[in-house]
Amino acid sequence: MTGGDMEKIFKAGKLIIKKAIKHRGTTFNNYIDASGRKGNYSRLLKVYKREGEQCLICKNIIKKIKVAGRGTRYCPKCQK
């Protein structure tokens, strides 16, 4: 991984965190924020709980693997 790659990852991560905060986080169960509202960032997730379905970008099938004992979903074509 080059320094440029790491910079791209850092910038993308920063953008994702800003968006998640703007949408009050990701609520799947009964979590509410300090204002008593549920977060709605989960509507923007591209692969979460979508294994076996088509990727929204390339139409490839989303895969699920275990990483450090946790389920991880990804598109094998878009996320190399």
pLDDT tens digits, 55-66: 999 999 999 999
In the predicted structure, residue 41 carries a pLDDT above the cut 90 = no
Strand (E) positions, 1-46?
Answer: none
Residue corresponding to tokens 């693997």: 65
* Distance (Å, whole) CA 41 – CA 18: 11
- Write down the pLDDT at residue 29: 75
Domain borders along the chain are 1-45, 46-80
Cα gap 24→32, rounded to integer Å: 9
The rounded distance, in Å, linking the Cα atoms of 73 and 63 is 6
- E strand or H helix at 70: strand 70-74
Instruction: Give 17's pLDDT tier (boundaries 50, 70, 90).
Output: very high
pLDDT band at 52 (very low <50, low <70, confident <90, very high): very high
Q: What pTM did the predictor assign?
A: 0.65
Model confidence at 28, in pLDDT bands (50, 70, 90)? confident
